[in-house]
Amino acid sequence: MNKNLLLLLFLVPAIATAQEIEKKLRPFSKITVSPKINLVLTQGTEESIRIVYSNINAAQINVQAEGEKLRIYLDDARIVDRREYHDDYHGRRSIYHTALVTAYVTFRDLKLLEVRGDQDVTVNQITGTDQLVIRAYGSSEITVDSLQVRTLKVVAYGENRIKLKAGRAGTQRYVLYGENKVDSRNLDGHTISSSIYGEGRLSVNASDEVRINAIGEPEINISGTSFINKGFVIGRPHISKEDR
């Protein structure tokens, strides 16, 4: 049988089972997405959400808007996903190991983005916000295409990959635990401070000062005209500087 036909026969059932939930949301400025849910954020003029899902019951998908905060999570997976015994070779696995869930969220203002798990998160832009906090727990991949804020704080635990592709945040603060990788070389900054514990990697761009506190063997790459201020440092951090 033709290979392309085999591939088509394989994909059609998966496409056919995909379903959607769509609704408007009350205004929010903070969002928490829990394990097993991919997130696509778009800044717009009206808050809304569209969820595309398969291999999971819609009743197991929760969307809660309370005060300024929007929470998106699955039953038994609000903080970590519940795991079940599989076999002696593979051990335990997530109860949602076959589920595919992607939430497309439109926001007007965003002050907090909190991600728990190992999913993908993409953001087209964040503007008009004075302060932004990004928190990541696990091994997610977070990409922000454009960012315009006065102050930015990133806190990451685990093995997250965070990329801030363009824009400006005058004051930046990074707190990394584990083997996180943060790349904000194309995000213009003025003053940056960092506390890195473990073997993480941080790439930043600053015009004034970069303050470094580190324990372990992190890699820190700095571009711009900034002065490097080493504070509390234990271990063997690798620090490189490139003027531009």
Q: Which residue ranges form the domains of the chain, and what is each CATH number?
A: 20-79+94-113 (2.160.20.120), 125-244 (2.160.20.120)
Mean predicted lDDT score pLDDT of the chain: 90
Q: Is the pLDDT reported for residue 1 higher than 60? A: no
Rounded to two decimals, the pTM is 0.89
Burial of 242 (0-12, 13-18, 19+ CB in 10 A): exposed
Cα(209)–Cα(197) distance, rounded to whole angstroms?
Answer: 20
What pLDDT shows up at residue 81?
65
Q: How confident is the model at residue 87 (pLDDT cuts 50, 70, 90)?
A: low
Does residue 216 contact residue 195 with C-beta atoms inside 8 Å?
Answer: no
Terminus-to-terminus CA distance in the chain, angstroms?
57
Query: pLDDT, tens digit, for every residue of 197-226?
Result: 999 999 999 999 999 999 999 999 999 988
What pLDDT shows up at residue 171?
98
Q: Which long-range contacts (CB under 8 A, 24 or more apart) does 231-238 make?
A: 237/196, 237/212
Cα(133)–Cα(114) distance, rounded to whole angstroms?
Answer: 8
Does residue 204 contact residue 222 with C-beta atoms inside 8 Å?
Answer: yes
Query: pLDDT, tens digit, for every residue of 124-150?
Result: 999 999 999 999 999 999 999 999 999
3-state SS assignment for residue 78? coil
* Beta pairing partners, 100: 54
Cα(196)–Cα(56) distance, rounded to whole angstroms?
Answer: 38
CA-CA distances (angstroms) from residue 101 to 62, 87, 219, 220? 12, 25, 34, 35
3-state SS assignment for residue 17? coil
Of the chain, the percentage scoring pLDDT greater than 90 comes to 80
Residue 126 has which token pair? 């964040």
Q: How confident is the model at residue 97 (pLDDT cuts 50, 70, 90)?
A: confident
Cα(72)–Cα(32) distance, rounded to whole angstroms?
Answer: 6
Cα(204)–Cα(187) distance, rounded to whole angstroms?
Answer: 7
What pLDDT shows up at residue 83?
55
